[in-house]
A and B are shown apart, each in its own frame.
Chain A
């Protein structure tokens, strides 16, 4: 099996995974924040927000990711929502419309799964914890922040990590929406070096496996560290 195609294009290989990794990181942060807000809405005392939260989750979670991408690329611009104004250039990386749109689509989508993962964690916290927190006079947000979420987060590490791992692989959808991330670059290379298709494919698969493995290991470490307490 020949690996020249990869060795001759190592810069492109790493740049491609650079986009994948950057997209994963910013989307992870945004979907964790948005997922936390959503779960606070869903378990909170305000009925309107509870309904809004669950409608959002139901709607977005049940929509295929590709449709969300298509929406932001081809439908949203018609009503004036576009990301042409995003022009960030760091080194050889260009974070423009394609990256921004992928970030928004993936974050809005992944937040639903983060929310549901956290909600399973919230449900795992005994009722008495919330009652005791309310009994010392903490308001809803204080109850969530000080008592429920810290414990819920521990219980939700495995489901949230799963959501993030799925998201890491979902970044490949951006490859057919104008972003030269790993999967798009792999397809470029297999087109140029048809005779080395299997080698190219395996190298990119290994790239994904390494990234996913890092995320799983971080998740395991967090699980262990928080277990004792």
Chain B
């Protein structure tokens, strides 16, 4: 997946400035940076929940479709996990996971349910399958959201601050699932503040500030020897605690 010269404005605000980024198959890229640096926006442009004003986004060498069926098909191949989970409030946990396979992949209901149960098992919430999202804790909901995305057998997974809305004791259960996913070779782009995750699971760290990619490095060298002043400043602030 490649982004070339991507630009985006919100009115006068230049939220993405000339972004170039290439992610290869099986790679885990963690995007970090201060709030408002454009990292979430970047993540959302990849499945076109946000449009871009200039530049190209290529997936498997093909340009991102603009709309219609092709765009829907593209989104089906890109899993997305949101900060606020966004589980379908009116559907059970099991239905949340089977909706995509049945309606988009046209999988028979029985197969979809078998797949969903398997995935819910993997993320550790299988026994909650009949409940509704509101009856689950945040950590459980986010793990269901990951299962929902995985049920589409995506080529790449996008995580948009998946742990930011969680109570501290639930963060680990979600990160554990993500680490296992990374270990199994899933291509992942993760926007997060979790430096621990970046260290353990990332192949590459992308540091963004003010709508620009300031620095790209492997985790070890980024955390021990950041090159840019912005990155030093940022790391200095968060690592003090």
User: Interface of A with B (CB < 8 Å)?
Assistant: 45, 126, 128-129, 131-139, 142, 146-147, 150-151, 154, 228-229
* Other contacts beyond A128-B82, A142-B104, A228-B132: 8, CB < 8 A: A128-B85, A128-B86, A131-B82, A134-B72, A135-B79, A136-B100, A136-B148, A147-B90
- Contact assessment for A134 and B67 in the assembled complex, using a CB-CB cutoff below 8 Å: no
Interface of B is mostly: mixed
Is the CB–CB distance between B82 and A129 below 8 Å? no
> Nearest residue in B to A228 (C-beta to C-beta)?
B132
A123 to B89, CA, bound (A): 15
Contacts of A142 in B (CB 8 A): 103-104
Is B238 interfacial (CB 8 A cutoff)?
A: no
CB neighbours of A147 from chain B (8 A): 88, 90
Q: A142-B103, A151-B90 are in contact. Are A137 and B82 (CB under 8 A)?
A: no
Q: Which of A128, A137, A147, A154 has the most CB of B within 10 A?
A: A137
Tell me if B86 and A137 are in contact (CB < 8 A).
no
Q: Bits for B71-112, please: 1 = Cβ < 8 Å to A, else 0.
A: 011111111101011111110000000011001100000000
Chain B, interface size category, equals 20 to 34
Complex CA distance for A199 and B68, rounded to whole angstroms: 62
A73 CB, nearest partner CB in chain B, Å: 43
Bound-complex Cα distance A135 to B85 (A): 12
**B152 sits at the interface (CB 8 A):** yes
Shortest Cβ gap from B108 to chain A (Å): 17
Assess the A150–B87 pair: CB atoms within 8 A: no
Q: What are 17 inter-chain pairs, A to B, with CB distance below 8 A?
A: A128-B86, A129-B88, A132-B87, A132-B145, A134-B49, A135-B47, A135-B80, A135-B149, A136-B148, A137-B74, A137-B100, A138-B103, A146-B88, A147-B88, A151-B89, A228-B132, A229-B90
